[in-house]
Chain A
Amino acid sequence: MKLLIQNGRVICPETGHDAVADVLIEDGRIAGVGPGLPTGGAGVIDAAGLIVAPGFIDIHVHLREPGFEYAETIESGARAAAAGGFTTICCMPNTNPVNDSTTVTSFIVETARRKAPISVFPIGAITKGSQGEELASIASMVAAGAVAISDDGRPVMNARVIRRAMETARALDIPLIEHCEDLNLSAGGDMHESVDSIRLGLRGIPSASEDVMVARDIILAELTGARYHVAHISTKNAVAMVAFAKQRGLHVTSEATPHHIALDTGAMKPYDSNYKMKPPLRCTHDVNACIDGIVSGAIDCLATDHAPHAGDDKMQEFEKCPFGITGLETALGISLEVLVHSGKISLPRLIALYTSQPARIMGWKDAEARGALKPGYVGDVTIFHPEYPWVYDVKKSESKSSNTPFNGRTFHGGPIMTIVNGQVVWRAPGF
């Protein structure tokens, strides 16, 4: 089985390649990159005028299966990912039951193998039931296919527990991903603590609730030597602390979501739950600090925190609605707009944020090596257009949920074709 992608602008941040060329995928692996590669019986895709990049990776996704299949399944979430140009996603453990055991890890791996058009890697829970008390069966989950640990959505409040979890993660050479939120400071909050929260009579989630936990964790990351990753970073102080930790040579990384760099508190429609997520949309200076963090490298990658919720759950009083918005299908459009079209970063840099950088954080090796167009790497390719205008219509979403603030928004540039192991798994209508 051979696939030849011809004449696209091939950008691979890892190898530094940026020129019009062909990409050959053979037996599910990248076989070569260069100009005028021989067709030699391969299926041919004409990518003239398009960008050809390593397959995009999203290390922060919620798939809701097992337990909340009415909101999303492994299959539907993976299809939405493919439609967003992603070839690899990592799913958070806050399912029901929580992914804190080999049973659930294996179920996700097996279900994904049978039904998902792209690669799905489970992230195991840090603690049993994500209750923050006893460590989960971390080593067993890793043996069953988990690539990282996190209690995303349920921050580990007990510093001693997180210390032991970091020691365990270090021994297993996996990253520990923390949802940084001091629950005492954020208690009952529904949006960013600001003049707007006071005006709307909603309880606030102060930036300090994130800062306090990032500070604690960085100190513990130094103590334990763990690979520590801050999920959905959203505050100015947190970005500064991650930058400081990097300067000191700690294994500290962070991700930002597209919505946290595109929207601030002022962009919220009052009491519209499509603007309700954790961390909340922050102030302008926090948003700018996140963008600056991406430019400077304090923030390593972009991740969507795709968090589908069924319509009924989001059609309630604001304070009753669950946190989270979908994001897989809009990620590229938003990040092109905020980062590239605005002139903040180059196109190759943006691609790095979705490919080589997340791959480095997770540390895929050998047969699983991905995130670059290097011979032997998995044959995943994302083809996209950097400029064409399109309108996001949530009714046509592959996701089972429609909780997004970006419905009806016009983007300039978006995914055209998603290729996994040398197979086209998604293509934009008309291509």
Chain B
Amino acid sequence: MPKGLLGIEELERSEIEQILERAKVFQPHGGQTFGKVNTCTGRMVVNLFFENSTRTRSSFEIAAKRLGAETMSITASGSSVTKGESLVDTLNTLVAMRPSAIVMRHAASGAPHFLARHLTTPIVNAGDGTHEHPTQALLDARTIMDRCGRLDGLRVAIIGDIAHSRVARSNIHLLAKFGVDIVLCGPPALVPRDLARIATGITIEYDLRRAVQGADVIMMLRVQLERMHEPSMQPGEYFRFYGLRPEHVALANPDAIVMHPGPMNRGREISSEVADSQQSMILNQVENGVSVRMAVLERVLLQ
């Protein structure tokens, strides 16, 4: 059965390296657009988004088109889900139309894993609930390597609502496979202590200044207001204690980079000075999103 990409946790380090290598080949030069490689002509990719997304969906769409594959995007609001159809029935209906792969985002953790057990079409996870967002971690790794030249031995601080972040989980798994020194930081209600045990090399820190001390990479997470069902911290207090400002970046390594998966809330988790600084890699991440997703889709489509 053809394999999709459900998460980083189950990938081998060598598989990750292959994807990142291939993504480098797809990176555009200078001000050019992505080259059209047409390795996947005749393939059909369905983007099935049960949650709103602008950047991930368009990134997957562009990636598929650059590979020469055809794409179709479906959003939940326009689908039969709102008419009460079950997830399995929706997917079975799509599978009967014989797409080559399904790119899926869903608000429930494990939704693509559950479907993968019942379907033969490979599924690429574009974010499942509070579980994983594998292509985000891959594009983040590509971005770090572009700038730092390596992953091994780096110190990466991940700041924010770790408990509810699929971006954080995928990044933690990926970075741990490369022996990265990972520091997780955020309000205690959003950074449970057991997080330190989901992979190797993790420390937990509740003080932002200590977390970013000597960091090579500072990854900010979006404050997810829609997931704030835990009593944690007043929004005003959040920026005071966990909002990234220039004085924090000054504590990191001199050539440290700042990342954010977007969309960012300026003045909530990150100050504009930092977001717009030279050290900010936010737009590089978006660009790498396309090349990494080309590599992932190609790998899935050409097996």
Contacts and interface: CB of A to CB of B under 8 A. Distances in A.
Contacts of B9: 199
A335 to B, nearest CB: 30
Interface of B: 9, 86-88, 106, 108-111, 113-114, 117, 128-132, 163, 166, 169, 192, 194-195, 197-198, 229
A201 interface: yes
Given A195-B198, A319-B108, A201 B132 contact: yes
6 contacts: A198-B194, A199-B169, A200-B110, A317-B87, A318-B108, A319-B109
Given A315-B86, A317-B106, A199 B111 contact: no
Closest 7 CB pairs of A and B: A201-B131, A271-B110, A317-B108, A201-B109, A201-B130, A195-B197, A199-B198
A188 B231 CA distance: 14
B194 A271 contact: no
A103 interface: no
Given A188-B229, A195-B197, A319-B129, A201 B110 contact: yes
Contacts of A199: 9, 169, 198
Nearest to B113: A271
Given A201-B109, A201-B166, A270-B113, A195 B88 contact: no
B290 to A, nearest CB: 26
Contacts of B166: 201
Contacts of A198: 163, 192, 194-195, 198
Nearest to A188: B229
Interface residues of A, number: 19
A62 B132 CA distance: 36
A201 B88 CA distance: 21
Most chain-A Cβ atoms within 10 A of its Cβ — which of B109, B166, B192, B194?
B109
Interface string A179-215: 0000000011000001100111110000000000000
A368 interface: no
Most chain-A Cβ atoms within 10 A of its Cβ — which of B106, B117, B194?
B194
A187 B230 CA distance: 10
B109 A318 contact: yes
A201 B109 CA distance: 6
A320 B107 CA distance: 11
A181 to B, nearest CB: 18
Most chain-A Cβ atoms within 10 A of its Cβ — which of B86, B114, B130, B163?
B114
A306 to B, nearest CB: 24
Interface string A219-249: 0000000000000000000000000000000
A318 B114 CA distance: 8
A315 B195 contact: no
Interface string A264-275: 000000111000
A312 interface: yes
B194 A195 contact: yes
A317 B91 CA distance: 12
